[in-house]
Amino acid sequence: MLSSLKYRRVLLKLSGEALSSAGRSIDSGKLKVVVSEIQALRRLGVELALVVGGGNIWRKREQGQGMDEVTADYLGMLATVMNALAIRQALQRGRIKTRVLSYLACDLPLVNRITKQTVQMAFKRGEVLILAGGTGKPFFTTDTAAARGAALIKAEVLVKAGPVDGAYTANPRRIKQAKKFKTLTIKEARARQLKVMDKQAFAICARKKIPIVVCRWQSGNIVKVVRGKKVGTEVTV
């Protein structure tokens, strides 16, 4: 099965919105979808690390008004830990071996610190990694955390899955005339100041030569990506 795959080790950046529904920041039904998709990837033999945002619980630009930025950022990091623990339990119920790692120091028995050694041992044990706590420092986004995680695990691709089906010339939710890119380079994305990822994330992926696929989070899309099928926008190095 591995011979039919384009990508065998993947960093999946998942929007916090993928876990939420109206009135529920973490919805059990949405967690089941995450489990189903990861089960499909594991059946293919894909090695996987997951970084999830915290926007379903905490959004600094909306809820952090009047708060100092450092405190607001730490609240966001804690939100990603909460999401990671929820996903961990759902995956374990789906009989998927899972480990939560964090750059943010958490005195919790369910969360280990991220190191090269813990990552290597987790993959040897066949575990899915959930990388929580952002970068562990304020002033960075979970995009940067995802890029840093992709570099750490030596991912062959970083897949950013969210509510939008690719990279556009402008925000398609606001500007109907926005055009979708099928492919572009990281250099072009940075020159156009596209908001699909932040500058630091682009810089890490460019330096480590990690391609990015931006796509909608929906059933079957990530499997299509690892099989080399065209989904969303491919951002090449």
Read off the tokens for 42.
């594991």
> Residue 10 has what pLDDT?
98
Please check whether residue 154 is in contact with residue 209, taking contact to mean a CB–CB distance below 8 angstroms: no
Residue with tokens 């696929």: 213
Read off the tokens for 199.
């500058």
What radius of gyration do the chain's Cα atoms show?
17
Mean pLDDT of 64-73: 85
* Residue 184: strand pairing partners: 235
* Residue 215: strand pairing partners: 161
Domain of residue 106 covers: 2-236
Q: How would you label 208-226 residue by residue, b for 16+ Cβ within 10 Å and e otherwise?
A: bebbbbbbebeeebbbebb
Please check whether residue 223 is in contact with residue 206, taking contact to mean a CB–CB distance below 8 angstroms: no
pLDDT tens string 159-179: 999 999 999 998 888 888 999
pLDDT tens string 214-229: 999 999 999 999 999 9
Tell me the C-alpha to C-alpha distance, in Å, between residue 11 and each of 80, 151, 167, 232. Answer: 16, 9, 18, 16
Q: How would you label 94-130 residue by residue, b for 16+ Cβ within 10 Å and e otherwise?
A: bebebbbbbbbebeeeebeebeeeebeebbeeebbbb
> Residue 65 has what pLDDT?
74
> What confidence tier does 195 reach under pLDDT thresholds 50, 70, 90?
confident
Nearest to 214 by CA among 198, 233, 200, 199: 233
Q: How many domains does the chain have?
A: 1
Name the residue with higher pLDDT: 82 or 195.
Answer: 82
Residue ranges in the chain assigned as alpha helix (H): 28-43, 60-63, 69-93, 116-124, 142-153, 186-191, 199-208, 221-226
Please check whether residue 56 is in contact with residue 21, taking contact to mean a CB–CB distance below 8 angstroms: no
Mean pLDDT of the chain: 93
CATH code at position 139: 3.40.1160.10
> Residue 176 has what pLDDT?
87
Nearest to 86 by CA among 162, 10, 42, 27: 27
Q: How many CA atoms lie within 13 A of 220 on its CB side?
A: 2
Please check whether residue 112 is in contact with residue 100, taking contact to mean a CB–CB distance below 8 angstroms: yes
SS3 state at 70: helix
